[in-house]
A and B are shown apart, each in its own frame.
Chain A
Amino acid sequence: MSFSKTIMLRNYDGETFVVDEVVAVEPQTIEHMIEDGCANTSIPLPNITSKILSKVIEHCKKHVETPNSNEKDAKADLKSFDFDFVKADQGTLFDLILAVNYLNIKGLLDLIYQTIADMIKGKTPEEEEEMRRVNAWVFSCFVGVTCLYFKSKKI
């Protein structure tokens, strides 16, 4: 086992997390901090709770450890990991977004944006009806679109 450098992350709750450097540089923010030489003792992340930070580290670890091959198994495994990862409750998801945005982890960010977008897209008509009633004061000419048509010539 080769000796690998570790980085200490100190978060909002005062807890410290020790991670391998290779995992720690997944977040670009931390990578830049290390490059700039600010990581001699521990890296402070005052705006991130332990719960969220440990989730983020878990994700980074998984992605670093999975070999970057085009092998189907590896990809499928990663995909199912990601799928389970975002099954968190909404509060966690939103907290994650802020943390991941600060840390600047592109892959994870895209994953979360997509997840939330999909949640919004998957509304049933009843839920939409409720939304509309609650916010009936909002006027928009395309709010009520239910059918988009396109005029075209017969071919």
Chain B
Amino acid sequence: MSTCKFQIHPEPLDLFDLIPDSILLLILNNIADVKTLGRCSLLSKRFHSLVPQVQNVLVRVDCVISDDDSTSSSSSASDKSRGGGPFSSLLRLLVGGIVKPIQAIGQLLGPKRSTILAPSPSSALSVHNNNTSGDDEQHSGGVTHHSPTQVLKNFDEIKFLKIELPSGELGIEDDVLLKWRADFGSTLDKCVILGASSVIHPQIVASGNVMNDGGDDNGSIPESFYTNGGLKLRVVWTISSLIAASARHYLLQPIISEHKTLDSLVLTDVERQGVLCMNKEQLEELRVKPLSASSASKRTLVPALNMKLWYAPYLELPNGSVLKGATLVAIRPSEQAGQKDVSDGSWVSSAFEEPYGTAARMLVKRRTYCLEMNSF
């Protein structure tokens, strides 16, 4: 055999018969991808009984359906409906009408059904469904739609769950950098946001540039922060990141309440624009103390916040990239201020992967500006 193709031998020797369940389970844990595991559960009774015991699961979401879409598929009717006020109107309220257009999630994909893009190969399968919504399962174009919550019902012992959205919720221009990482318990625990109005990559940076200026320590934020709508932009970044994070948190409730064995939950997107994390203690906190929802929209209430901000008009990273208008914001609920040692900045600099981890470490050395925000 020149190719490593897995073949089924229903009559002759099945290689998997050679290995004990414990090893097979380890292999399934390595697979992690929920669609592949679904197909695996087809192979035999043995696989069918082992797949629910997999502890390490990765859900790659193919498409995001806009909440406001009233023609959503009926198979989703069993999920709680999640209507909500559009985010953009909130923004308009806060920043007086001059807002960078934030792409509606609904625009992230084409038609709401049938010919949806599933990036992974998909075949037209009909489904025997033991779900109550049974026969009205969507079959448009041979593609069936399921929500992560439904799909995850098939697992009993998930410990490590990662869900990956197809893209970040925040529509930003190509040049702009915006990344957030938020940790939640039953409410926001901490959040770090890194933004830059433009990123110049190593190949394009000319040599002999302006040095990293250490001389803006005259007691106030440099002028460049305010010009060109810079301040407004940063407010928009901060608020939109917090809204995206709290919306994701809200949507995770059914999954968290159903899977009590969870030790770690990560909700990210393919571009890694935003990462929401919950560890074991935080998950338990949410089960014990339910979240407060924001009144207008389906997202978790964001508490009153203390924020620390660092800014550099021109930041050159070791790998040669340059961030212009680099801004780092570290956010914690005001309540926590007295409890933890706020001078420990390790959670800020370790929030992002390289090269942005280094950017954060460089930024925190600069002058810190403190801000506060009300709950929303």
Contacts and interface: CB of A to CB of B under 8 A. Distances in A.
B368 interface: no
B23 A147 contact: no
Interface residues of B, number: 90
Nearest to B44: A135
Contact of A155 (B48, B65, B87, B163): B87
Interface in B115-149: 116, 118, 121-131, 142-148
Interface in B20-53: 23, 26-28, 30-36, 38-45, 48
A60 B148 CA distance: 42
A147 B4 contact: no
A143 B35 CA distance: 8
A149 B147 contact: yes
A146 interface: yes
B257 interface: no
Interface string A118-155: 01110111011111101100111111111111111111
Given A95-B18, A116-B27, A139-B130, A148 B66 contact: no
B261 interface: no
A101 interface: yes
B84 interface: yes
Contacts of B118: 146-147
Contact of B165 (A142, A143, A146, A150): A150
A153 B105 contact: yes
Contacts of B163: 150
A1 interface: no
B41 A90 contact: no
**Interface residues of A toward B: which range?**
35 or more
B321 interface: no
Interface string B45-80: 100100000000001111111111000100010010
Nearest to A101: B23
Interface stretch (B243-251, B307-315, B357-365): B243-251
A89 B27 CA distance: 17
B250 to A, nearest CB: 9
Given A91-B15, A117-B31, A140-B38, A147 B144 contact: yes
A87 B88 CA distance: 53
A98 interface: yes
B253 to A, nearest CB: 13
Contacts of A146: 35, 118, 122-125, 142-144
Given A116-B27, A139-B128, A139-B130, A151 B147 contact: yes
A84 to B, nearest CB: 13
Contacts of B65: 149-152
Interface string A71-91: 000000000000000010111
Interface of A: 87, 89-91, 94-95, 97-98, 101, 113-117, 119-121, 123-125, 127-132, 134-135, 138-155
Given A146-B124, A153-B298, A155-B87, 5 more contacts: A98-B19, A148-B146, A152-B169, A153-B247, A154-B105
Interface of B: 1, 4-6, 8, 10, 15-16, 18-19, 23, 26-28, 30-36, 38-45, 48, 59-68, 72, 76, 79, 82, 84, 86-88, 102-106, 116, 118, 121-131, 142-148, 150-151, 153-154, 163, 165, 169-170, 240, 243-244, 247-248, 251, 297-299
The 5 closest A-B CB pairs, nearest first, are A144-B127, A146-B122, A117-B30, A125-B123, A144-B125
